[in-house]
Amino acid sequence: MSAALRSTVTLLVLGLLLVVAALWGWNAMTKPFPSSEPAPLCTETTVDTGTQVFRDQVAVSVYNGSNRNGLAGATMEQLEERGFVGADSGNAPAKINGVQIWSDEPRNAAVRLVARQFKNAKVVSGEELGRGVVVVVGETFKSLRKKEVESVDAVEASTFCSPPESAE
């Protein structure tokens, strides 16, 4: 094979590679971006009367109803260490004393399980500030109850926010 023929074949092969690379690049550039939607934190889960509900099945949102900086975040961290799924946190729209669980369903298994983590927590009607069970910690709140409650039995059919992998 002569040098001229070898150069011609080489240039044709390189030209073909350039065309293939250009087509591949154009195809990749004009594709829509992949969806970066995160998986949902939780889904609505319903359990029947008598079903045991565990901490890792319950999402909790904690809000600061005091003038103490970082109270909601610190409380959320303690609840997560106990196995609850952390959802939302921030400042409550009103200042309170003690601990309140904002729910219209005081007999809900998830609400009861979260309330049992605190001393003297009151379940009261309130705004739906975040996902899961909404806890508002106030000025006189000190700490979680020392005795950790791992689960409760549902005293009635209950629906609550549960992580997708724990929903059955």
The structural domain count of the chain equals 2
Structural domain includes residue 37: no
pLDDT confidence of residue 137: 96
The pLDDT tens digits for 21-78 are 989 988 888 888 777 776 677 889 999 999 999 999 999 999 999 999 999 999 999 9
Structural domain includes residue 140: yes
Q: What is the pLDDT confidence band of residue 166, given thresholds at 50, 70 and 90?
A: low
What are the structure tokens assigned to 69, written together?
A: 């900086």
The pLDDT tens digits for 30-44 are 888 777 776 677 889
Of 86, 77, 65, residue with least CA distance to 161: 86
Of 100, 106, 30, 19, residue with least CA distance to 63: 100
CA distances from 52 to 32, 114, 156, 158 (A): 45, 14, 11, 11
What are the structure tokens assigned to 142, written together?
A: 């000190």
- Are 73 and 24 found together in one domain? no
- Are 69 and 146 found together in one domain? yes
- Are 27 and 52 found together in one domain? no
The pLDDT tens digits for 110-164 are 999 999 999 999 999 888 888 999 999 999 999 999 999 999 999 999 999 888 8
Specify the DSSP class assigned to residue 106. Answer: T
Structural domain span for residue 133? 43-162
What are the structure tokens assigned to 139, written together?
A: 């000025």
